[in-house]
Amino acid sequence: MGLPLVRDENSVRWLTLNRPDVLNALTLEDLTALREAVLGIGPEVRAIVVTGAGDRAFSSGMHVATFADLTPTTSRHVIDEVGACLGAIRLAPVPTVAMINGYCLGAAFELALACDVRVAHAEVRFGLPEVKLGIPSVVEAALLPHYVGLSKAKEMILTGDLYAASDLPPGLVNRLAPRTQLREVTETLLRSLTMPTREVIAAQKSLFETWLNCGLEESIATSKDVFAHMWDSPATAAAVARYQSGRRV
């Protein structure tokens, strides 16, 4: 038990948070290992899944010891490390999936928000309890209103309370599955996520960033540029040809 486990299986990189004795609480070393595992994928990797070891927690977030004796300088280092890790996951050029098997709290909840899609069972508990420690929720918590709406996001962040997956708006969890079928449902979703070309997935994900950060006119203009540039890749013409061939059959 310790640093996240990294395993490549059927073109998918599985990252398992691996401190089940402390509900997979994260350390700065874990964040570095996760970031390197995401940034280090080769062309053979078509998707990334993050999950937690054991059956109690995806992760309880940053280990509380991380916050002991921080100063303005050292706290900035900590949050920069959190941001670098979660940013690498959000900007990965392949689909990213959080397979959430238990408590999903704090920075780990932000990690799940940074992923493209989330699979969970109904008993999973989500929360951003930082406010109860006198610490604001930051970084990828900024995405929460997009998933649950501004009113619910304010409630979750300002109370720091925990919420069952089944009690939250449907936009947060893409697939709710029985606990025993979590892996099966995740793998079914992965088959759909890895069917398009790697090139178009990377392009589409870059557009999501544009749509989140820019106005409508710039988003449309950028979308047109991305569409045109896709034809620089032989994979695009090949995918169109395969689709046409399949339809004729």
In this structure, what token pair is assigned to residue 190?
A: 């992965």
Instruction: Determine if residue 155 is left, alpha or beta; phi over 0 gives left, psi from -120 to 50 gives alpha, anything else beta.
Output: alpha
Closest-CA residue to 56 (of 94, 92, 83, 24): 24
Q: Are β-strands 96-100 and 47-52 bridged in parallel, bridged antiparallel, or unpaired? A: parallel
Can 184 be counted among the known catalytic residues? Answer: no
Phi, psi for residue 143 in degrees, rounded to 5: -80, -20
Distances (CA, A) of 161 to 25, 153, 242: 18, 11, 49
Reported in sequence order, the residue ranges of 124-237 that DSSP labels E, i.e. its strands, are 125-127, 162-164, 175-176
Can 217 be counted among the known catalytic residues? Answer: no
CB 200 within 8 A of CB 237: no
Please identify which of the residues 9, 29, 110, 217 carries the catalytic annotation.
Answer: 110
Gap between the Cα atoms of 51 and 35, Å rounded = 15
Please identify which of the residues 29, 130, 140, 155 carries the catalytic annotation.
Answer: 130
Active-site positions read 110, 130
